């Protein structure tokens, strides 16, 4: 039995008639035609499906679409502003932060969410000074991005791209 749900995706309200058990990932890709969010492991272990919900990064393969009514969902397609790339997208290009590109949309969305977490003062497992969690060295970036896998091994350039945006 289908349920009618309304999702705000990339600033546009979209109404879908889908089963209650459809994942957010499948709703984005198969029902809304947004192929940028990738299906990797379908178990929340690789991060290829990462999107931003109300500014926080989530694995869309583990989320039911129906849970996200009334929330602001941003996919890789929604990051551009009047045709201009988001600074993180531009940094991935400038620092060659991808090879095959399959994980790149999830990496970029995760990096944006991660920088917001740092800005909000959230510590990570490797944060040395809990009174200053905003210090973002390479070890801190790697730890905070550890939920996003790159099978091609572009990690050095991904960290470089993130560092360039973080300042």
Residues 87 and 40: their CA atoms lie apart, in Å, by 25
Q: For a pLDDT cut of 70, what percent of the chain falls above it? A: 99
pLDDT of the residue at 102: 96
d(CA 114, CA 52): 10
Q: What pLDDT score was predicted for residue 129?
A: 78
Predicted local confidence at residue 128, as pLDDT: 83
For residue 127, the model assigns a pLDDT of: 87
- With CA atoms as reference, report the closest residue to 63 among 14, 35, 27, 33: 27
The list of the chain residues with pLDDT below 50 reads none
pLDDT at 8: 98
């Amino acid at each position: 039995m289908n349920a009618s749900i309304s999702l705000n995706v990339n600033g546009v309200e979209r109404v879908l008639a889908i089963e209650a058990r459809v994942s957010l990932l499948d709703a984005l890709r198969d029902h809304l035609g947004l192929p940028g969010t990738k299906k990797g492991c379908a178990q929340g272990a690789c991060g290829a499906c990462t999107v931003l919900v109300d500014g926080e990064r989530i694995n869309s393969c583990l989320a039911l679409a129906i849970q996200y009514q009334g929330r602001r969902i941003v996919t890789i397609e929604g990051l551009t502003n009047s045709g201009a790339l988001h600074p993180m997208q531009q940094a991935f290009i400038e620092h060659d932060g991808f090879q095959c590109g399959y994980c790149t949309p999830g990496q970029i969305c995760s990096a944006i969410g991660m920088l917001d977490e740092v800005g909000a003062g959230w510590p990570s497992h490797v944060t040395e000074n809990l009174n200053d969690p905003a210090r973002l060295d390479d070890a801190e970036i790697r730890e905070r991005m550890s939920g996003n896998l790159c099978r091609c091994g572009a990690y050095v350039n991904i960290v470089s791209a993130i560092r360039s945006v973080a300042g």
